[in-house]
Structure 1
Amino acid sequence: MTERPPLLDPRGPRFVAAVTTVVLVVILATGSGWLALAQAAVFALGALGPRRSPYALVYAKVIRPRLGPPGELEDVAPVRFAQRVGLVFTLAAAVAYLAGGWVVGTVLAACALGAAFLNAAFGLCLGCEAYVLLGRLKAKS
């Protein structure tokens, strides 16, 4: 008997992306490498499991109880992969900002912002799409 993959409410990752969008806007407005490093830590927790992110905990404890049941559930693996991608971008942005590379930090944070905004506003998770694409490429080889 095959084990079913863990599933989650897709509204949670969208909420997480909305909060992340706000944080990334502040990072871009201030050029704060320390805030970028804090966001990288949030992504690191999310990469361990999307429900471990502090933003996801807020969703689970404050928002989710006030909503009806989700219309569908989604696999955790693509979301975990997307969190890893966000970790790479924000960690690199933090290093760049803290090393004085304002332009590089800004470009990396802007890329992360674009991805977070697309997920928050339209439900388009670029990291999740990359996960599916990589899975298809791996299956063909």
Structure 2
Amino acid sequence: MDIDVRGPRFGAALTTVVLAVVLITGNVWLLAWQTLAFALGAAGGVGRSPYGWLFRKVVRPRIGPPTEFEPPEPPRFAQAVGLAFAVVGLLGFTVGPEWLGLAATGAALAAAFLNTAFGYCLGCEMYLVLRRVTASAE
């Protein structure tokens, strides 16, 4: 079942804020929260993430029904990519080196910002490229 395209973009906006605060403050617990949000989105789809739930319950009723939809697989893959970067970020901040935590968190922030500001989902594009490559290899 296709999803409302506004949901993942809303989630990316919240992710952008969370990751920016992590980079400014170095708050590992906040990065752990974002890692959990990514994990839930990767495991159950963006609708199962905390930001997807918030969009569905609070935002969507106020902005009306969607006019555009997208398949759920690319945003779900993007959540898995975000999860990988967040885990590396957590490792960098907790075990070291700190630059690794900063770099991984910064990369995740850049991807979330691209989706928020321009509607360009880097992880979704990676998913489509991987699908093309694996389809042509068969």
Normalised by the length of structure 1, the TM-score is: 0.93
Task: For 1:136 and 1:32, locate their aligned partners in 2 and report how far apart those are by CA, in whole Å.
Answer: 39
Secondary structure at 2:64 match in 1: coil
Conserved in 2, the CA contact under 8 Å of 1:34 and 1:94?
Answer: no
1:23 aligns with 2:18: yes
How is 1:26-105 mapped onto 2 (pairs within 5 angstroms)?
A: 26-48=21-43, 49-105=45-101
Q: How many pairs align?
A: 136
Q: Give the C-alpha shift of residue 110 in structure 1.
A: 0.4
Secondary structure at 2:112 match in 1: helix
Output the amino acid matched with 1:20: T
Secondary structure at 2:30 match in 1: helix
Conserved in 2, the CA contact under 8 Å of 1:32 and 1:97?
Answer: no
Output the amino acid matched with 1:126: L
Give structure 2 stretches of 5+ with no counterpart.
none
Aligned position for 2:125: 129
Normalised by the length of structure 2, the TM-score is: 0.95
Aligned position for 2:110: 114
CA deviation digits over 1:55-109, x for unaligned, max 9?
A: 1111111110011222211000001000000000001101110113211100000
1:9 equivalent among 4, 15, 40: 4
Q: Give the C-alpha shift of residue 32 in structure 1.
A: 2.2
Output the amino acid matched with 1:74: E
- Percent identical across equivalent pairs? 51
Aligned position for 1:3: none
Task: For 1:107 and 1:95, locate their aligned partners in 2 and report how far apart those are by CA, in whole Å.
Answer: 11
Conserved in 2, the CA contact under 8 Å of 1:33 and 1:96?
Answer: no
RMSD: 0.9
Structure 1 residue ranges (4+ consecutive) displaced by more than 6 angstroms after TM superposition: none
Task: For 1:101 and 1:63, locate their aligned partners in 2 and report how far apart those are by CA, in whole Å.
Answer: 39
Conserved in 2, the CA contact under 8 Å of 1:28 and 1:110?
Answer: yes
Output the amino acid matched with 2:47: R
